[in-house]
Amino acid sequence: AQSVTQPDIHITVSEGASLELRCNYSYGATPYLFWYVQSPGQGLQLLLKYFSGDTLVQGIKGFEAEFKRSQSSFNLRKPSVHWSDAAEYFCAVGAYTGTASKLTFGTGTRLQVTL
Amino acid sequence: DAGVIQSPRHEVTEMGQEVTLRCKPISGHDYLFWYRQTMMRGLELLIYFNNNVPIDDSGMPEDRFSAKMPNASFSTLKIQPSEPRDSAVYFCASSLKRIYEQYFGPGTRLTVT
Protein backbone atom coordinates (compact mmCIF):
# COMPACT_ATOMS: atom_id res chain seq x y z
CA ALA A 1 0.00 0.00 0.00
CA GLN A 2 1.14 3.52 -0.67
CA SER A 3 2.19 5.85 2.12
CA VAL A 4 3.56 9.34 2.60
CA THR A 5 5.88 10.59 5.31
CA GLN A 6 6.39 14.21 6.20
CA PRO A 7 9.08 14.14 8.85
CA ASP A 8 8.72 17.74 9.97
CA ILE A 9 5.59 18.48 11.96
CA HIS A 10 6.35 22.16 12.40
CA ILE A 11 8.81 24.53 10.70
CA THR A 12 9.49 28.18 11.41
CA VAL A 13 11.24 30.44 8.90
CA SER A 14 11.80 34.15 8.66
CA GLU A 15 10.06 36.11 5.96
CA GLY A 16 12.32 36.32 2.94
CA ALA A 17 14.20 33.15 3.81
CA SER A 18 14.16 30.07 1.64
CA LEU A 19 11.98 27.09 2.45
CA GLU A 20 12.17 23.37 1.91
CA LEU A 21 9.50 20.97 3.15
CA ARG A 22 10.34 17.29 3.04
CA CYS A 23 8.18 14.50 1.71
CA ASN A 24 8.99 10.83 1.25
CA TYR A 25 6.65 8.35 -0.33
CA SER A 26 6.32 4.62 -0.60
CA TYR A 27 4.73 3.13 -3.69
CA GLY A 28 5.66 0.22 -5.92
CA ALA A 29 5.20 1.94 -9.26
CA THR A 30 5.75 5.43 -10.62
CA PRO A 31 3.72 7.64 -8.34
CA TYR A 32 1.54 10.61 -8.97
CA LEU A 33 2.65 13.20 -6.42
CA PHE A 34 1.02 16.33 -5.12
CA TRP A 35 1.41 19.16 -2.67
CA TYR A 36 -1.66 20.77 -1.15
CA VAL A 37 -1.83 23.77 1.18
CA GLN A 38 -4.40 24.42 3.88
CA SER A 39 -4.81 27.88 5.34
CA PRO A 40 -6.44 28.15 8.76
CA GLY A 41 -10.15 27.41 8.61
CA GLN A 42 -9.99 26.59 4.92
CA GLY A 43 -10.03 23.54 2.71
CA LEU A 44 -7.00 22.22 0.89
CA GLN A 45 -5.74 23.88 -2.28
CA LEU A 46 -3.61 22.15 -4.90
CA LEU A 47 -0.16 23.76 -5.14
CA LEU A 48 1.48 21.54 -7.72
CA LYS A 49 1.54 18.06 -9.17
CA TYR A 50 3.92 15.56 -10.72
CA PHE A 51 2.72 12.90 -13.14
CA SER A 52 5.73 12.26 -15.38
CA GLY A 53 8.43 14.01 -17.38
CA ASP A 54 10.46 16.86 -16.00
CA THR A 55 11.26 16.08 -12.38
CA LEU A 56 11.19 19.74 -11.36
CA VAL A 57 7.64 21.02 -11.35
CA GLN A 58 6.39 24.53 -10.86
CA GLY A 59 3.26 25.40 -8.98
CA ILE A 60 1.24 28.34 -7.88
CA LYS A 61 2.40 31.05 -5.47
CA GLY A 62 6.05 30.63 -6.47
CA PHE A 63 6.42 27.07 -5.17
CA GLU A 64 8.30 24.29 -6.88
CA ALA A 65 8.99 20.64 -6.09
CA GLU A 66 11.53 18.12 -7.28
CA PHE A 67 10.83 14.43 -7.76
CA LYS A 68 13.81 12.24 -6.90
CA ARG A 69 13.07 8.60 -7.62
CA SER A 70 16.32 7.35 -6.05
CA GLN A 71 15.39 8.98 -2.76
CA SER A 72 11.63 8.42 -3.00
CA SER A 73 11.24 12.10 -2.27
CA PHE A 74 9.18 15.01 -3.50
CA ASN A 75 10.35 18.04 -1.53
CA LEU A 76 8.62 21.39 -1.79
CA ARG A 77 10.69 24.55 -2.10
CA LYS A 78 10.27 28.28 -2.26
CA PRO A 79 13.21 30.70 -2.62
CA SER A 80 11.69 33.51 -0.56
CA VAL A 81 8.86 32.98 1.87
CA HIS A 82 6.12 35.55 2.43
CA TRP A 83 4.15 35.94 5.65
CA SER A 84 1.04 34.83 3.77
CA ASP A 85 2.64 31.41 3.19
CA ALA A 86 2.00 30.49 6.81
CA ALA A 87 -0.27 27.44 6.55
CA GLU A 88 -0.23 23.67 6.73
CA TYR A 89 1.26 21.80 3.80
CA PHE A 90 0.31 18.28 2.80
CA CYS A 91 2.17 15.97 0.48
CA ALA A 92 0.07 13.29 -1.20
CA VAL A 93 0.51 10.29 -3.46
CA GLY A 94 -2.14 9.20 -5.91
CA ALA A 95 -2.32 5.53 -6.61
CA TYR A 96 -4.56 2.70 -7.67
CA THR A 97 -5.18 0.39 -4.74
CA GLY A 98 -6.48 -2.54 -6.72
CA THR A 99 -10.08 -1.58 -6.31
CA ALA A 100 -10.06 2.18 -6.65
CA SER A 101 -7.84 5.18 -7.13
CA LYS A 102 -7.20 7.40 -4.18
CA LEU A 103 -5.02 10.15 -2.75
CA THR A 104 -3.09 9.27 0.37
CA PHE A 105 -2.01 12.29 2.37
CA GLY A 106 0.89 12.78 4.72
CA THR A 107 0.34 14.11 8.20
CA GLY A 108 1.21 17.64 7.19
CA THR A 109 3.85 20.23 8.05
CA ARG A 110 2.77 23.42 9.72
CA LEU A 111 4.73 26.43 8.49
CA GLN A 112 5.12 29.46 10.68
CA VAL A 113 6.62 32.63 9.21
CA THR A 114 8.22 35.20 11.46
CA LEU A 115 8.52 38.82 10.44
CA ASP B 1 -17.02 30.52 -10.34
CA ALA B 2 -18.33 29.12 -7.10
CA GLY B 3 -16.16 26.52 -5.49
CA VAL B 4 -17.29 23.51 -3.54
CA ILE B 5 -20.01 24.53 -1.13
CA GLN B 6 -20.51 22.81 2.20
CA SER B 7 -23.16 23.32 4.81
CA PRO B 8 -23.33 23.83 7.64
CA ARG B 9 -19.89 25.26 8.38
CA HIS B 10 -20.21 24.39 12.05
CA GLU B 11 -22.40 21.81 13.74
CA VAL B 12 -22.69 21.10 17.43
CA THR B 13 -24.88 18.22 18.44
CA GLU B 14 -25.42 15.85 21.30
CA MET B 15 -24.42 12.23 21.30
CA GLY B 16 -27.08 10.03 19.75
CA GLN B 17 -28.44 12.67 17.43
CA GLU B 18 -28.51 12.36 13.65
CA VAL B 19 -26.17 14.66 11.74
CA THR B 20 -26.41 15.46 8.04
CA LEU B 21 -23.63 17.24 6.20
CA ARG B 22 -24.24 18.65 2.75
CA CYS B 23 -22.06 19.30 -0.25
CA LYS B 24 -22.52 20.95 -3.62
CA PRO B 25 -19.61 20.14 -5.95
CA ILE B 26 -18.27 22.42 -8.63
CA SER B 27 -20.60 22.37 -11.60
CA GLY B 28 -19.54 19.84 -14.21
CA HIS B 29 -17.22 17.90 -11.95
CA ASP B 30 -17.75 14.17 -12.13
CA TYR B 31 -15.95 13.01 -8.97
CA LEU B 32 -17.00 13.81 -5.42
CA PHE B 33 -15.07 12.91 -2.29
CA TRP B 34 -15.79 12.99 1.43
CA TYR B 35 -12.84 13.29 3.83
CA ARG B 36 -12.51 13.50 7.59
CA GLN B 37 -9.68 15.40 9.29
CA THR B 38 -8.66 14.89 12.91
CA MET B 39 -5.51 15.63 14.84
CA MET B 40 -5.00 11.97 15.62
CA ARG B 41 -5.66 10.41 12.22
CA GLY B 42 -4.98 13.26 9.80
CA LEU B 43 -6.93 13.43 6.56
CA GLU B 44 -8.84 10.27 5.72
CA LEU B 45 -10.86 9.49 2.62
CA LEU B 46 -14.26 8.20 3.63
CA ILE B 47 -15.97 7.61 0.29
CA TYR B 48 -15.96 8.84 -3.26
CA PHE B 49 -18.42 8.94 -6.13
CA ASN B 50 -17.97 8.99 -9.88
CA ASN B 51 -20.95 10.20 -11.88
CA ASN B 52 -23.09 9.87 -8.75
CA VAL B 53 -22.13 6.23 -8.21
CA PRO B 54 -20.18 5.23 -5.08
CA ILE B 55 -16.82 3.80 -6.14
CA ASP B 56 -14.95 3.23 -2.91
CA ASP B 57 -16.50 3.34 0.53
CA SER B 58 -13.79 1.39 2.30
CA GLY B 59 -12.96 4.40 4.45
CA MET B 60 -16.41 4.71 5.96
CA PRO B 61 -15.74 3.93 9.60
CA GLU B 62 -18.87 1.97 10.41
CA ASP B 63 -22.53 1.48 9.67
CA ARG B 64 -23.41 4.67 11.46
CA PHE B 65 -22.02 6.56 8.47
CA SER B 66 -23.79 6.73 5.14
CA ALA B 67 -23.37 8.90 2.05
CA LYS B 68 -25.58 9.57 -0.91
CA MET B 69 -25.34 11.46 -4.14
CA PRO B 70 -28.85 11.70 -5.61
CA ASN B 71 -27.72 13.94 -8.45
CA ALA B 72 -24.64 15.58 -9.90
CA SER B 73 -24.97 18.72 -7.83
CA PHE B 74 -25.65 17.42 -4.35
CA SER B 75 -24.31 14.93 -1.83
CA THR B 76 -24.93 14.20 1.81
CA LEU B 77 -22.95 12.50 4.54
CA LYS B 78 -25.10 11.26 7.40
CA ILE B 79 -24.06 10.04 10.81
CA GLN B 80 -26.67 8.26 12.89
CA PRO B 81 -26.35 8.02 15.80
CA SER B 82 -23.48 10.43 16.34
CA GLU B 83 -20.80 9.82 18.96
CA PRO B 84 -18.18 12.14 20.50
CA ARG B 85 -15.42 10.38 18.56
CA ASP B 86 -17.03 11.57 15.34
CA SER B 87 -15.97 15.12 16.20
CA ALA B 88 -13.79 16.27 13.31
CA VAL B 89 -13.69 18.52 10.28
CA TYR B 90 -15.42 16.93 7.33
CA PHE B 91 -14.36 18.03 3.87
CA CYS B 92 -16.05 17.55 0.56
CA ALA B 93 -13.99 17.77 -2.62
CA SER B 94 -14.71 17.42 -6.29
CA SER B 95 -12.69 16.94 -9.45
CA LEU B 96 -13.16 16.89 -13.20
CA LYS B 97 -11.84 13.79 -14.97
CA ARG B 98 -8.51 13.90 -13.13
CA ILE B 99 -9.30 12.10 -9.95
CA TYR B 100 -6.26 13.37 -8.05
CA GLU B 101 -6.67 17.08 -8.80
CA GLN B 102 -9.28 17.77 -6.22
CA TYR B 103 -10.93 21.02 -5.21
CA PHE B 104 -11.84 21.13 -1.56
CA GLY B 105 -14.69 22.86 0.16
CA PRO B 106 -14.16 24.89 3.35
CA GLY B 107 -15.22 21.99 5.56
CA THR B 108 -17.80 21.39 8.26
CA ARG B 109 -16.53 21.38 11.81
CA LEU B 110 -18.58 18.83 13.73
CA THR B 111 -18.60 18.71 17.50
CA VAL B 112 -20.49 15.93 19.23
CA THR B 113 -20.92 16.43 22.96
Q: Residue A91's closest chain B neighbor by CA? A: B43
Please write the tens of the pLDDT for every residue from A42-101. Answer: 889 999 999 888 899 999 999 999 999 999 999 999 999 999 999 999 999 998 777 778
A90 CB within 8 Å of a chain B CB: yes
A46 CB within 8 Å of a chain B CB: yes
- From chain B, the residues in CB contact with A99 under 8 A are 56, 58
Mutate one of B43, B60, B89, B91 to test the A interface: name it (highest A CB count within 10 A).
Answer: B43
| Residue A87, SS3 per DSSP | strand
Please write the tens of the pLDDT for every residue from B9-46. Answer: 999 999 999 999 999 999 999 999 999 999 888 899 99
- From chain A, the residues in CB contact with B93 under 8 A are 43-44
Cα angle B68, B69, B73 (rounded to 5 degrees) comes to: 145
Is the Cβ–Cβ distance between B37 and B94 less than 8 Å? no
